């Protein structure tokens, strides 16, 4: 459904796939935002504060119908129905079809409090910030740089795009930044990393506290029955990040390099653990295919772990539990897979 709108302040992009149980509450929470007068006065007067772009990513349930009904009810809601292509393509289409000065992302199974957008905009206006991060890993009233948040944000487990506000110009000028196509795990992290690298040493990131974004942990349990090749993206996304960070290595501290090494070890072992778990829970398993996949899992993880351990001090930065896991895996990957699988099967 096409809707002509005057340029809004914020475009909220919601990718939706098989989200019939969540999407209505999600969209209503976004459309129920209350923008305070001081925030409105901080920007050029506009009757259109928020536009909502829902990208129905080829849903086969009632998601598309529900989205159309919401669009008919709310004048600022636009729906794009597309062939299933994954969350990265959906978000990228949302960006291309939006026109807000700022962009925010909300997942279809999450909710936002009524002051969420107002709180983000207030900080953007008061601090002239290009990025606003709510409840991030750094607590400060001062603007920080992109390099700083790479070290103390991304490398401290803030790898998601929700809970943040981005000025559009940062995504568009001097080379577009978009979500990586073909990555199903870690696409948020890579998008955020590219934005922070582009921000660089400029102090343009504002940190605010608040509980405005209500994240819904939705564990479908799919990994319990079948190991998917896409799980290798857990390693691939950090391989890509490694390439990005190598180009700005001189901007990062030794502490950051240690953090990155630890993350890569943990990501590699996570892939092995997923394989071990699913391998021990399947019945009538194709033994030959399983052995081929196991060799690939072990080979990929071994390469990553060996490289990460070459960073001086990386092993000592691991928790006691991960030190034991690394020791067992390096002694015998087969033993690690057997022990982990049996442990999770109990």
CATH class, range 10-214: alpha beta
What pLDDT shows up at residue 88? 97
SS3 195: helix
SS3 6: coil
pTM (two decimals): 0.93
Q: Which of 128, 122, 101, 135 is CA-nearest to residue 12? A: 101
**98 backbone dihedrals φ, ψ, rounded to 5°:** -105, 165
Task: Judge contact between 165 and 104, C-beta under 8 A.
Answer: yes
- Strand 10-16's sheet: what is its strand order? 77-82, 50-57, 10-16, 102-105, 164-167, 131-134, 203-208, 144-145
Assess whether pLDDT exceeds 70 at residue 283: no
**50 backbone dihedrals φ, ψ, rounded to 5°:** -130, 135
What pLDDT shows up at residue 342? 83
Strand 144-145 and strand 213-214: pairing? unpaired
40-75: b or e for each residue (b if 16 or more CB lie within 10 Å)? Answer: beeeeeeeebbbbbbbbbbbeeebbebbbebbeebe
**270 backbone dihedrals φ, ψ, rounded to 5°:** -65, -40
Task: Judge contact between 176 and 155, C-beta under 8 A.
Answer: no
Q: Could you tell me the residue ranges of all domains in the chain?
A: 10-214, 222-345
Q: pLDDT category, 7, cuts 50, 70, 90? A: confident
SS3 43: coil
DSSP structure string for 82-109:
E----HHHHHHHHHHT---SEEEE--TT
Dist. CA 238–CA 245, nearest whole Å? 10
Assess whether pLDDT exceeds 90 at residue 271: yes
24-83 per-position pLDDT tens digit: 999 999 999 999 999 988 887 666 899 999 999 999 999 999 999 999 999 999 999 999
What pLDDT shows up at residue 284? 46
SS3 338: helix
- Can you say how many angstroms the Cα of residue 130 is from the centroid of all Cα atoms in its chain? 19
């Amino acid at each position: 459904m096409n809707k002509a709108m005057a340029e809004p302040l914020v475009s909220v992009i919601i990718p939706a796939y098989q989200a019939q149980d969540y999407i209505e509450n999600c969209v209503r929470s976004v459309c129920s935002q209350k923008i305070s007068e001081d925030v409105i006065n901080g920007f050029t007067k506009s009757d259109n504060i928020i536009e909502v772009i829902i990208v129905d990513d080829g849903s086969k349930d009632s998601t598309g119908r529900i989205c159309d009904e919401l669009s008919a009810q709310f004048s600022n809601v636009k729906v794009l129905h597309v062939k299933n292509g994954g969350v990265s393509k959906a978000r990228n289409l949302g960006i291309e079809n939006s026109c807000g000065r700022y962009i925010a992302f909300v997942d279809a199974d999450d909710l936002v409090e009524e002051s969420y957008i107002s709180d983000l905009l207030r900080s953007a206006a008061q601090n002239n910030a290009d990025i606003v991060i709510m409840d991030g890993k750094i607590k400060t009233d001062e603007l920080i740089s992109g390099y700083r948040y790479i070290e103390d944000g991304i490398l401290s487990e803030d790898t998601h795009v929700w809970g943040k506000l981005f000025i559009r110009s940062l995504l568009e000028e001097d080379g577009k930044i978009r979500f990586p196509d073909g990555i199903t795990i870690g696409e948020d992290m890579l998008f955020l990393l590219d934005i922070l690298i582009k921000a660089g040493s400029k102090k343009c990131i504002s940190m605010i506290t608040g509980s405005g974004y209500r994240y819904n942990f939705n564990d479908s349990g799919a990994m319990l029955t079948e190991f998917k090749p896409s799980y290798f993206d857990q390693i691939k996304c950090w391989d890509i990040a490694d390439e990005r960070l190598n180009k700005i290595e001189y901007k990062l501290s030794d502490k950051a390099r240690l953090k990155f090494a630890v993350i890569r070890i943990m990501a590699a072992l996570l892939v092995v653990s997923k394989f071990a778990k699913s391998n021990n829970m399947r019945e009538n398993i194709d033994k030959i295919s399983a052995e081929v996949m196991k060799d690939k899992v072990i080979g990929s993880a071994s390469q990553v772990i060996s490289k990460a351990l070459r960073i001086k001090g990386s092993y000592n930065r691991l928790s006691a539990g991960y030190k034991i896991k690394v020791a067992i895996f390096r002694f015998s990957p087969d033993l690690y897979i057997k022990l982990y699988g049996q442990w999770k099967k109990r």
